[in-house]
Amino acid sequence: MIETDILIIGAGPTGLFAVFEAGLLQLKCHIIDALPQPGGQLAELYPKKPIFDIPGYPEVLAGDLVTNLMEQIKQFQPGFTLGETAQTIQKLEDETFIVTTNEGTKHHAKAIAIAGGLGTFEPRKPILKDIEFYEKEDRGVDYFVKEPEKYRGKNIVIAGGGDSALDWSIFLSNVAKSVTLVHRRNEFRGALDSVEKVQELKSSGKIKLITPAEVVGFKGNERIESLDIEVNGARMNVPADYFIPLFGLTPKLGPIANWGLEIEKNAIKVNNALDYQTNIPGIYAIGDVNIYPGKLKLILCGFHEATLMCQSVYQRINPGRKYVLKYTTVSGVDGFDGTRKEAEKAVVKSID
């Protein structure tokens, strides 16, 4: 059982920043996310696109914002359960919660902060016969690259034409025995440097490119042994240990929708006059996943909501205790890892 003060569901910018604000109040956080890496939409949908409305950053790449947030919160040592979806919640008699993921990981927390953004990202699956069989129990179909090491020395076929297909082809070309990239068109849509890198790896024979083409079937009894690929109406068979279709992700509110929370327009209703708490005391919703009159789905609004939520959790855990707001510039930041950040002392010296 994982023990924590605040269990945050969703590792997007709002969820990550909540770790920082909680840390200032000496509250420990643990984050669950369905994706294998932190960052939410920013990491998954548009890591190389710029954002222009983060206060203090005239321009910041989404991926860099995630990197910075991870750096900002690291001294508060958040725990992560990645690649798993929060499935069920149970409220105990002492007003604490147990959240269990789809893989059975249990988390015990004093408060829950749902920072789920658009919801759980579910992979868009190609429509292929028997794909449900092969996607189970490591039979060869994967929709995410969770542990790259498992592909070492294997024959990999990746399908898709976007950034993740390009980037994982590049990455796995150094790990796998062979990497074949299949795409329905000749044109790829990704960051220019990724497209150029794949071009280079293709020329040097490290990636095999098959376009315009589509995977149309599997061969193999216990698990995948090869794939049928249709190229310009002709069929070919390519040996494969793993098939990784990367056709993007669709967000769904998912199991959270069944937690008894008030839902409106696919979002969770919260009390915006106070602390972004839901209709269930102890469960909060912050960032894009919540709704209240005047709601704006902006990262900067999520940061604000995360901050007020942490104050409310502090009061919940320490009832009646007075809290005095402190400025980080004045009091510094004491990490759970023993580190301390503080402002340099001003020099007191006379000027002749």
Question: Which residues are at the interface with other proteins (CB under 8 A)?
Answer: 45-46, 49, 118-119, 124, 160-162, 184-185, 187, 189, 247-248, 250-251, 253, 265-267
Q: Where would I find the H helices in 192-283? A: 192-203
| Nearest C-alpha neighbor of 38 from the set 86, 97, 79 | 79
Q: Nearer Cβ to other proteins, position 136 or 265?
A: 265
- Give the Cα separation of 217 and 239 in Å (integer): 12
**Smallest separation, CB 219 to other proteins (Å):** 25
With tokens 């548009």, the residue in question is 46
**Smallest separation, CB 119 to other proteins (Å):** 7
CA 81 to chain centre: 10
Q: Nearer Cβ to other proteins, position 90 or 266?
A: 266
Determine if the peptide bond prior to 212 is cis (ω within 30°). Answer: yes
Helices 299-317 and 13-24 cross at an angle (nearest 10°) of 40
**Smallest separation, CB 291 to other proteins (Å):** 8
**Smallest separation, CB 326 to other proteins (Å):** 35
Instruction: Provide the greatest CA pair distance for the chain.
Output: 87
**Smallest separation, CB 258 to other proteins (Å):** 16
Return the sign of the alpha-carbon dihedral for residues 217, 221, 223, 226: negative
Q: Nearer Cβ to other proteins, position 38 or 47?
A: 47
Q: Nearer Cβ to other proteins, position 6 or 45?
A: 45
Q: Nearer Cβ to other proteins, position 78 or 117?
A: 117
Residue 109, both tokens: 């927390």
Q: Nearer Cβ to other proteins, position 215 or 310?
A: 215
Q: Give the other-Cβ count within 10 Å of 265's Cβ.
A: 7
**Smallest separation, CB 160 to other proteins (Å):** 8
